[in-house]
Amino acid sequence: MVPYDGLHQLLENGEVDVVLDFEGFGRRGTTFTPLVQVEAVCLCPAVSPLLEREAVWARDLEDMPVALTRPRFATDRMHDLHHELIGNRAPQDQYICESVEAALTLARAGLAVSVQPAISVPPDIPSVPFRGVAATSFGLYTTGGAPAGLAREFHDLLRESIGDRR
């Protein structure tokens, strides 16, 4: 298992051909090819009045504990949103998690709500669309320009698979 921070270094060193990530995390000399625009969702406990809504906004979460990921795991847009969500919350109502999975676990357990990119959320976790943050591009990073050969085939298969899930 490779630490998340090292994936782009492996790409840069030629040890892998493709890295999947959000736009804005690449390094100099890599090319980003988008696959899908990812909306944010609010993860809720299985029994939550939020699930009855069509969508939620930051103001809807003001009185709830929140589980957020550390800034290095969040896109710039999500980082700004997380900062807004922390706002004036008491420390005991803020869970800063080392991984998306930890935030998902807290939401699943009913201890907090969490706002995450929809692509990071398993289908069995209750969620509702979150408004007030722009969608983020998710795709492939490659070196040497647009994906070619097997990387292009991989890109096309992913695009087809993601399209089937929408």
Q: What CA–CA distance (Å, rounded) separates 23 from 34?
A: 8
Domain-embedded: residue 116: yes
Answer yes or no: pTM beyond 0.85: no
Co-location of 57 and 96 in the same domain: yes
- Asked, for residue 153, whether it belongs to a domain, the answer is yes
Same domain membership, residue 46 and residue 83: yes
pLDDT confidence band for 150 (50 / 70 / 90):
confident
Looking at every residue in the chain, the average pLDDT score rounds to 85
Percent of the chain with pLDDT over 70: 92
Sorted by sequence, the CB contacts under 8 Å of residue 12 that are 6+ apart come out as 27, 29, 30, 143
Higher model confidence: residue 71 or residue 96? Answer: 96
pLDDT-derived band of residue 1, with 50, 70 and 90 as boundaries? very low
Residue 124 is part of which domain span?
40-129
